[in-house]
Structure 1
Amino acid sequence: MTVERPFKHLKVAVADQRVGSSRADARESVLLMAMLRGPRAPHVPVRVRNLSAGGMMVVSQVLVCPDDAVKVELAGVGTIEGKVAWVFSGRIGIQFDKPIDPLLAETTVRSR
């Protein structure tokens, strides 16, 4: 039995290969906790799922919008300032104003 794939000619863009993506930093999949502060989020815990020198993806139901200025408190790194790049289905992409050393956060967790 042969199964026909009618849409095999379509290319699907994935997170790391989106058309026009300007990501240059290597990202690490992590599971860390942080605190987020923004215009509608005074001090909310979030789960960090991806972390790089230039940004992070967090999971939270906090109300933020693209281009909102935010601050994230991350153990080992301190307070990081940035802006919301995107929001989708409980996930939030944050681009940092200045690069960080993501190993500082991971080292803090591993040494406990």
Structure 2
Amino acid sequence: MKDGENRLVPRDSLFLMADMRAEGLDGSYPIKVRNLSAGGMMGEGTLRIVRGLVVEVDIRNIGWVTGSVAWVQENRFGVSFADEIDPSLARAPIGQGDSPAPAREHKI
């Protein structure tokens, strides 16, 4: 996506807890997902990250999604996903999406 195009993509405003792993850091860290779209998300957390960092986020009913940090502002950040997801799956009750997404297990 070109700069500016991402503002045209529909987003779901929501509040989900998720775990995030970052390139070069051990373990996973809890974050809040504030909005979610097919191509990315806005998160919030205390993890110190920088623009361009490769990360993975474990999103409910979807699994681990790889992306890169697009922007950082204080404790909020944007992640652009490497592959599109179906954000409606994250709103479904845990484990009860119409078609369960295959588990994605990646290590950065």
Query: Do they fold alike, i.e. is TM over 0.5?
Result: yes
With the length of structure 2 as denominator, give the TM-score of the two structures: 0.78
19, 22, 25: which one pairs with 2:9? 25
Question: Alignment identity in percent?
Answer: 36
58, 63, 69: which one pairs with 2:43? 58
Distance 2:55 2:27 in 1: 10
Structure 1 residues 1-112: aligned runs within 5 Å: 21-23=4-6, 24-39=8-23, 40=25, 42-108=27-93
With the length of structure 1 as denominator, give the TM-score of the two structures: 0.76
Distance 2:26 2:72 in 1: 14
Task: Verify the 8 A CA contact 1:27 1:50 in the aligned structure 2.
Answer: yes
- Aligned residue pair count: 91
Larger relative contact order (C-alpha < 8 A, sep ≥ 6)? 2
List runs of 5+ in structure 1 lacking aligned partners.
Answer: 1-19
Distance 2:90 2:58 in 1: 11
Secondary structure of the structure 2 residue equivalent to 1:42: coil
List runs of 5+ in structure 2 lacking aligned partners.
Answer: 97-108
**Over 6 Å off, 4+ runs:** none
Cα RMSD after superposing both structures: 1.5
